[in-house]
Amino acid sequence: MAKLYFRYGTVSSAKTMNLLAVAHNYRKQKKKILVMKPKIDTRYGADVVQSRSGLHTEADMLLDDRSELDIQNYSGYHCILVDEAQFLSAQTIDKLRSISIEQNIPIICYGLRTDFKSRLFEGSRRLLEIADSLEEIKTTCGFCNSKAVFNLKSVDGVYVQTGPQIQLGKDETYTPSCAGCYRHRLEEAQLGITPEPKLKETPLADAP
């Protein structure tokens, strides 16, 4: 039976670049794939899946709570790739699970594990519950060389824990952070201390 995969990481951990590499490899082998993403994600265009490096591809299907995802429509595909899966509903994740079983198609979902408040997204929670394979895509903290595990949000240069859970942003809004730096930056913000410059994040094959 084909597996449902959840490949998760913080912001700037090259999740979408990983997806694009997998898509390229399947296409190079003349295999039939589908690329999906949540309809809500319009940062780079309505139907564009794009990494922060600028590499991109077109999404074949946009997903929301009304997406039918009829199992019979996916016969003959070799793989389904899903970007920003954290924004999907639990119901949509369950439909993807059914497709992977009934059509024997591997489905690889990429996304964040938690939001800037360190709380699970709905889609991520369901994937953690039912995915066959959980794989962490690692990167370093934006402030030190430890492994990043949290997503730190800033508004006008101030680190915050306020606002809606789903708030689309790019590099200027969210920073990958280790547990220590995450806590210290929020404490400094509460005290009105000006934050130090961020380091450049580095994807890791393996981090301590």
Domains and CATH numbers, the chain: 4-137 (3.40.50.300), 150-201 (no CATH)
**Residue 129 CA: distances (Å) to CA of 26, 95, 114, 141, 173:** 27, 14, 14, 27, 29
Residue segments in the chain with a per-residue pLDDT below the cut of 50: 206-208
> Can you give the pLDDT at residue 167?
76
In whole angstroms, what is the distance from residue 122 CA to residue 128 CA? 10
Residue 84 is among the residues annotated as catalytic for this protein: yes
Angstrom distances, CA of residue 134 to CA of 7, 61, 71, 101, 113: 6, 24, 23, 17, 11
Residue 138, φ and ψ in degrees, nearest 5: -100, 150
| H-run or E-run covering 126 | helix 122-130
Please pick, among 84, 129, 135, 136, the residue that the annotation labels catalytic.
84
pTM of the model: 0.89
pLDDT at 5 (0 to 100):
98
